[in-house]
Amino acid sequence: MIFVHGGPHWLYEDHYMPDVQAYVDAGFLVAMPNYRGSTGYGRAWRDALSGAPGSADVDDVTAGLRDVLRRPDVDASRAVIAGWSWGGYVTLMELGRNPGLWRAGMAGVPVGDYVRAYHEEAPGLQAMDRALFGGSPEDVPDLYARANPITYVDAVAAPVLFVIGENDSRCPLGQALAYVERIDAAGKPHEVYRYTTGHGSLDNDEEVRQIRTILDFLQREVPGLTSV
């Protein structure tokens, strides 16, 4: 499993993460790349996505998978891509741009339709997007189209689980469901789990239900996993 962090201006550090431990217990080797756009590696690394979101970050995640596949204990036919928020966005970009690499995907609270997301999200997020893209969807439509997961939806081959918050102001419900509607119309295998709060549940019982749902999905779609 390539487990992609959100942000994008964030990073994985060396600390205990119960969801990662659950995936390890199920049999995954979990790789957690700090792709270009992550913090902690200097300004140039953090700002590498400016003017080109959905490019260097996706390329780095792909390179991370290819590096992991050099290990003798990794099965390329059972590779999974997963992430939350910007990690969910990268997950959908990977599934659409590199469909032959992945057995399954889990997109948690993702950006699925970036143009619609821009118009639905909170003003602070709109400002961040204008900084990343160099303008709004009306200013730079070609860049938004290139960086939009829904552009590549027809190429998706792997089954994907969506975990979506119904009151999410960061990655709003409408734009996520717009992607789901497109993938459903294309006849692609997918499942949707919706919960009632926002960008995160902030509720331990709900988080356990989500991880259980993700593990159940992966055990159906990826052969050879351990029941957890």
Residues 191-207: pLDDT tens digits?
Answer: 999 999 999 888 899 99
The residue extents of the domains of the chain are 2-221
Which residues are designated catalytic?
85, 168, 199
| Sequence-distant (≥ 6) Cβ neighbours of residue 42 within 8 angstroms | none
Sheet containing strand 80-84, edge to edge, reads 2-4, 80-84, 104-108, 160-165, 190-195
% residues pLDDT > 70 (the chain): 100
pLDDT score at 202: 85
Q: pLDDT-derived band of residue 3, with 50, 70 and 90 as boundaries?
A: very high
Residue 199: C-alpha distances to residues 122, 195, 196, 202 (Å): 12, 10, 10, 9
- Identify whether the C-beta of residue 169 lies closer than 8 Å to the C-beta of residue 120: no
Rounded to an integer, the average pLDDT of 6-25 is: 95
Measured distance CA(96)–CA(156) in Å, rounded: 5
CATH class of 2-221: alpha beta
Q: What is the pTM of this model?
A: 0.96
In this model, does residue 17 exceed pLDDT 80? yes
Mean pLDDT of the chain: 96
Instruction: Tell me which H or E stretch contains 108.
Output: strand 104-108
Q: pLDDT-derived band of residue 113, with 50, 70 and 90 as boundaries?
A: very high
